[in-house]
Structures are given as structure tokens and as C-alpha cells.
Amino acid sequence: MVGAGRRLRRASVVMPPPHQRLDDPDDEPVSPGDAATFDSILRLRLSRRETLKALGAGAAMLGLFSDQAVAARGANEGAVSSLIFSEVPRGRDDRLHVPAGYRAQVVLRWGQPMFPGAPAFDPHRQSAQSQQLQIGYNNDFVGYLPLPRGTADSDHGLLAVNHEYTLGSLMFPETTHRLLRPVPQVATEMMAHGMSIVELRRTASGWRLITDSAFNRRITPLTRMRLSGPAAGHPRMKTRYSPDGAVTWGTYANCSGDVTPWGTVVTAEENIQFYYSGLGDGLPEEENYRRFGMHGGLLTMPWGRHFQRWNLALNPNEPLHAGWIVEVDPFDPTSTPVKRTALGRCKHEGCCVHVNADGRVVCYLGDDQEYEYVYRFVTRDRFHPDRRAENLQLLDDGILSVAEFDATGTVTWHPLVFGRGPLTQRNRFHSQADVVIDLRKAADLVGATRMDRPESVVVNPVTGSVFVVLTANRRRMNAEVDAANPRPHNTFGHILELVPPDGDHSALKFKWEVFLLAGNPGQPEQGAGYHPQVSSNGWLMCPDNCDFDAEGRMWIATDGANLHGLADGVWATDVAGPGRALTRHFLRAPIGAEVCGPCFTPDNTTFFCAIQHPGEGSTYAHPTTRWPDFRADQPPRPAVVAVTREDGGVIGS
């Protein structure tokens, strides 16, 4: 075993070579000036009207594209929606806004002590040691697990939250460029990554973190883990910190995730390319790193300058240990998290876990980058509610496949199995380990559809359909438009609905349909498409994560409005009936923040969500917001909020 001291030993390499700027999929500015024409979208859609009818979308959806519908927008707002709340006004300021009659309570915030004796947050006295005992930075995924396990308790449970990345410019009073940041700050930022698991209880005054809970756990980039599945132990996985290719260390760049039916949490490693110093040129994995988008660059975190593990010159295969789905048992704080390599390696946005009618488990996965793919994993074995030990092995064996969308409204799942089709030695695949490690290359070869940045891919538990949330792809050219990605220079994103035949999520083919095209329907050149009665506050841009309430209504969090001078937030909509695709504005985030990880307690009386990177784009000295503390001596702090109704009732009803 390699000790923590060795893993943190400073590297001898001093400066990485100069790099070109990396494309940060979440932070790069977007020009709104070149959206598709309304006519071009209409032409693409006309051929699909029959499919729309067959799926029961009806005249309301077809009306999306009529001038009368645009004229009617805003009138009779909300009357046909089942969602009952007063919409939050569009805009942007330094506050968080929820509808009248609701309250938002900050439950967890960056730096909050989560163990007995943990130091209170003090921005002037930060260290890796204190950060390991406090809530990490930039929450993305939020999962609620009732206590005791297996119950539906909505007043007492565990909250598992991801910490995706850090913003040193907003964390430290003494701020420098990241490449010049002193080692203690770099180590503090490192420890602010990963995941926090905490016990919460709802009291008369709101949700409270129980600091002396035996469940509380910080998972960091140094936590001991293991690899399982096809890549575990493969020679490509052997590094100087993992001589057997099966032990691995920690997790970082954790974006979204899910709670499994057997009470574990799966967390998705996404933008791992920002964590390694050096270039892949000339390394054994050069081809893989190039396909993964690892170009080095100014946005690279300086971990590898100070810690050998992330320095490609010294430990060239380390990136193969990240980009996986990681399973954590939050009910056992001593358990070893497991990277489930059977689910493939890419820039995983999340992992939606669903039990198929036949008991097999189906995971839906999005690879969040322009032109990347939507994946599905179907387990070999079946879920048994009373056999938890067996369920904990489910994600190691099954069939991974990738989606091809055609213009007739059919999606085909292409298996990614070694030896089948092009996945042979002729294309340098020698085993299933190569398939899961070189997942993007495998998907390229089977003809998958290149999508507009797949974020969440989620199953509606009431209707059984699958929603694919595509956040944007402004690079798509006119000639690259296809039925499932119908707008060139897609600045605003869209959402597809996939319908498995007879509810069978393991089927080779599903039907699919556009659910909505985001953007401002008041500007027809954007080609937006919603229910015709969507209000001036009700349209959204750049959908990202979403969840469903007990009625199957969709709650969509966004990430991208700040690039257009507006605030991100949460919008809710019916997915069926007269209010289908009538999005309504439920929550508005403070300036700079995206909203992530929406989730409900089982009784739907609490809506949790993460407010990630409030104040992003500003500095510690001059933040655009000091949410949530609003103290002159405190920076903005990423946080998880609990939204409840003042009368304690069901959210949105």
C-alpha cells in the first residue's frame, strides 16, 4: 500500500511547458449571435409530426412552432400546468429567489465543520487538514438517503454531495494565478474535491447537520479505492501508485450521480483532463489522451507541479484511473469506494440507475462534451431487494452500449463488446478492458450519434421514459445538424424524450422525440420550442441536471445563463398532459452560480439543490455576491439549500 505521505510527495518537475488554452465546457463564453433560423428548425421538424402524434404529444406540441403560439405566450400563464407556485421573475442579482410561500435554507456550505472538533471556517486559516474535516467546494450531485436505510423517512437521512472543482480566486484572500499558487493552497483545493456524506435531521427550525454522526465521511482525491470490472488489474492500469492496477486513490471532478435502489451512491468523474501536468505527446496513452481532450492548458490545476501522482512525466498512466463511475456505500463509512470500469471511461456527467421490469439494472450515462455520446449499461444479473451483498456486485457485469438516433424517431443501442463488429484487434482492441478504457473510440467505430453535450440522462419513474438533457453545442455547423441535434450553433440546449418499447429499458431500439428546445421563444431566430403558453419567466437555457417528483413532473436545473447576463435556476414542468413542456421558473440562483443536483425527500416536502460557484468570474477582493453569508469578511460559499413550503406542504402542489 502507498501511504498518503508518499502520494503527496512533491515532484521534481518545476514548470509545465506553455500550453494553448483548454476548452472548458462549462466556463467558456458563448456568443448568442448565430442561432439557427426559425425556418430551418421548422423544416427539420415537419417530417416528424406523425411521430409526435403517435407519442401522444398532440396539437399542443405541434403548436410550438406556430406564430399564433408565440403570440399567445404569457397569456393564461400556468393555467394548464399542474405545478402550483408563483413563478420567480427572471433577472440576476446577488441573491437566491424562491416563490412566495416558500423558503430556502442553506443546509451545507463550503468550509462548514462536519465532524466533532473540526475547525470553524476561517478564510484566513485554511489548510488541507482543516478542509478534510469540512464540507468541500462546489457541490454538484446531491442525493438524499432516508435513515434508517430502506425507509422513506423524509425528516432524517444522509445527504451525499459531490465537490466537483475549486475556484482558488474566490477561496483565498491572497490570490495568485493558479500556476503560481503556493503548495498549501494547492493542497487545500485538492482536499476540497470529492464527496461529503453527512447525516441530517429536520427540526422545527429546519434541516440540521449532525456533526457527531458516525456516518459522516469526507471522500477526497486521496481516499483509498479499488477498481473493479474489465479494466481492473489490466496492464494499462498499472502505475507507480497502483502496481497491481486494481488499487486506486481518490476521486475528483465529481459531477452528478444517483442513489441506487440498494442504497449506494454512484458519482461520475467528469472533467478529469484539468488535473494533470504535462502533455500526452509521446506517452504510451497518447492516442487515448488526445481522444479524451487532454491538451494541457492554462486551466489545468497545478496538482502535478507539486504532487508526483498527477505529473504525466513521472506517472504517465494516472489519467486512466479517472473518468469512471464510482460506487460508494454511504451507510458504511469504512467501506472502500469502487470504480466500476464496466460502465466505461469518459467525461461522465452522471449515472441514472433504474431497475428494469425484468429486474436487471439499467444505467444511463452522458459524456459531457460537444459531439460526445449517450451510453447505456444493462446488468447481467438481477436486482433483489433483500440481497444487498449481491446487489453491490451488479455494476461489474453487463452490456455497455451507445445510442444512435435516426430521423425516423428510432434510437438504436449499439453494444460495445470486445470482438463484436469493429471492436477487434484490427482496431487495437484486445479485450473488454480496451473497450472500456478507450470508450469514445469504440463508440466512434460503431456509428453513434454525436450529441450536443449530454448532461443528465434520467428515467422518469412515473412514465418510464428517458430524458436526455443536452446543454449546448455552439460548434455544431449547419452541415452537421441532424434530427436529434436540430440546431446549428446550439447555444441554448434541448431535451429529448426516449420511450422504451413496453417499458423495456434493455430493448435494442427505443422511440425518441424532442421534448423541448431551450432558448427565448420571444426571439424566433433562436428556434426555441416549448408549450405555447410558456411565460416570459418560464423559458430556460442550458438545461443540465434534473429530477422528477412523485408525480413524474420534471425539475430542471440550468448551467449557462450567466453567459447571457441572466441567472441560472430551476424550472419545473409537466411531461405529459396539457402542461407538457410548459416550463415554469421555480428558483433563481445568485449571480455566477449554476444549479445542480436537484432531489426530493420521498414525501416531496423538501427540495434539495446545490448552488455551485456563486460569484464565479469575480475575485475574492471584489466578489459579485457574498451569498449565502453576506458578511464583508466572508467570500461567497458554494452550498446546498433545502427549499420547503412555509406551510410544510408538497413542493409544487
* By the rule CB under 6 A, 368 interacts with ligand FEO: yes
Within 13 Å and on the Cβ side, how many CA atoms surround 435?
A: 25
Q: How far is the CB of 255 from ligand FEO (least distance, A)?
A: 3
Residue 554 and residue 581: Cα distance in Å, rounded?
A: 9
Q: How far is the CB of 368 from ligand FEO (least distance, A)?
A: 4
Which residues within the stretch 141-200 sit at the binding site for ligand FEO (CB under 6 A)? 164
| Cβ density class 120-156: b for 16+ within 10 Å, e for less | ebeeeebebebbbbbbbbbbbbbbbbbbeeeeebbeb
Q: How far is the CB of 61 from Ca ion (least distance, A)?
A: 26
Which one, 199 or 547, has the nearer CB to ligand FEO? 547
Q: How far is the CB of 13 from ligand FEO (least distance, A)?
A: 29
State residue 249 phi and psi, 5-degree precision.
Answer: -130, 115
Which residues within the stretch 250-289 sit at the binding site for ligand FEO (CB under 6 A)? 255, 270
Q: How far is the CB of 251 from ligand FEO (least distance, A)?
A: 14
Cell 412555509, located at residue: 646
Task: Write each residue from 22 to 61 as x if it is in contact with ligand FEO (CB under 6 A), else as -, in one continuous string.
Answer: ----x-----------------------------------
Cell 460495445, located at residue: 416
Which one, 423 or 451, has the nearer CB to ligand FEO? 451
Which one, 452 or 544, has the nearer CB to Ca ion? 544
Element (H, E) at 200: strand 194-203
* By the rule CB under 6 A, 616 interacts with ligand FEO: no
User: In Å, what is the CA distance from 363 to each residue of 302, 379, 505?
Assistant: 34, 8, 9
Q: How far is the CB of 451 from ligand FEO (least distance, A)?
A: 12
- Please name the amino acid found at residue 268: A
Interface with ligand FEO: number of residues (CB under 6 A): 8
Q: Which of ligand FEO, Ca ion, none has residue 616 at its interface (CB below 5 to 8 Å by kind)?
A: none
Residue 476 and residue 480: Cα distance in Å, rounded?
A: 6
Residue 297 and residue 17: Cα distance in Å, rounded?
A: 9
Q: Which of ligand FEO, Ca ion, none has residue 452 at its interface (CB below 5 to 8 Å by kind)?
A: none
Q: How far is the CB of 542 from ligand FEO (least distance, A)?
A: 10
Which residues within the stretch 107-146 sit at the binding site for ligand FEO (CB under 6 A)? 140
Residue 292 and residue 90: Cα distance in Å, rounded?
A: 37
User: In Å, what is the CA distance from 322 to each residue of 24, 136, 319, 395?
Assistant: 18, 19, 5, 17
DSSP 396: G
DSSP 483-541: TTB--TTBSS-EEEEEE-GGG-TT-SEEEEEEEEE-S-TTSGGG--B--TT--TTT--S
Position among 258, 318, 349, 404 found at the interface with ligand FEO (CB under 6 A): 349
Residue 120 and residue 130: Cα distance in Å, rounded?
A: 9
Q: How far is the CB of 267 from Ca ion (least distance, A)?
A: 13
Which one, 556 or 582, has the nearer CB to ligand FEO? 556
Q: Which of Ca ion, ligand FEO, none has residue 270 at its interface (CB below 5 to 8 Å by kind)?
A: ligand FEO
Q: Which residues contact 180 (CB under 8 A, 6 or more apart)?
A: none
Which one, 348 or 645, has the nearer CB to Ca ion? 348
Which one, 139 or 506, has the nearer CB to Ca ion? 139
Q: How far is the CB of 445 from ligand FEO (least distance, A)?
A: 24
Q: How far is the CB of 455 from ligand FEO (least distance, A)?
A: 5
* By the rule CB under 6 A, 513 interacts with ligand FEO: no
Which one, 493 or 579, has the nearer CB to ligand FEO? 493
Which parts of this chain interact with Ca ion (CB under 5 A)? 26, 455, 544, 559
How many other CB atoms are there within 10 angstroms of residue 474's CB atom? 20
Strand, helix or coil for residue 108: strand
Are 55 and 61 in contact, with CB atoms under 8 Å apart? Answer: no
3-state secondary structure 223-269: CEEEEECCCCCCHHHCECCECCCCEEECCCCEEEEEECCCCCEEEEE
Element (H, E) at 600: strand 594-600
Please state whether 613 falls in left (phi above 0), alpha (psi between -120 and 50) or beta.
Answer: left
Q: Which of ligand FEO, Ca ion, none has residue 327 at its interface (CB below 5 to 8 Å by kind)?
A: none
Q: How far is the CB of 612 from Ca ion (least distance, A)?
A: 6
Which one, 580 or 588, has the nearer CB to Ca ion? 588
Q: How many residues does the chain have?
A: 653
Which one, 453 or 645, has the nearer CB to ligand FEO? 453
Q: How far is the CB of 492 from ligand FEO (least distance, A)?
A: 16
Within its chain, how far is the Cα of 606 from the centroid?
21
Which residues within the stretch 451-470 sit at the binding site for ligand FEO (CB under 6 A)? 455
Which one, 583 or 612, has the nearer CB to Ca ion? 612
Which one, 153 or 559, has the nearer CB to Ca ion? 559
Which one, 349 or 438, has the nearer CB to Ca ion? 349
Task: Write each residue from 528 to 557 as x if it is in contact with ligand FEO (CB under 6 A), else as -, in one continuous string.
Answer: ------------------------------
Residue nearest to Ca ion as judged by C-beta position: 26
Residue 553 and residue 547: Cα distance in Å, rounded?
A: 8
Q: How far is the CB of 365 from Ca ion (least distance, A)?
A: 13
Residue ranges binding ligand FEO (CB under 6 A):
26, 140, 164, 255, 270, 349, 368, 455
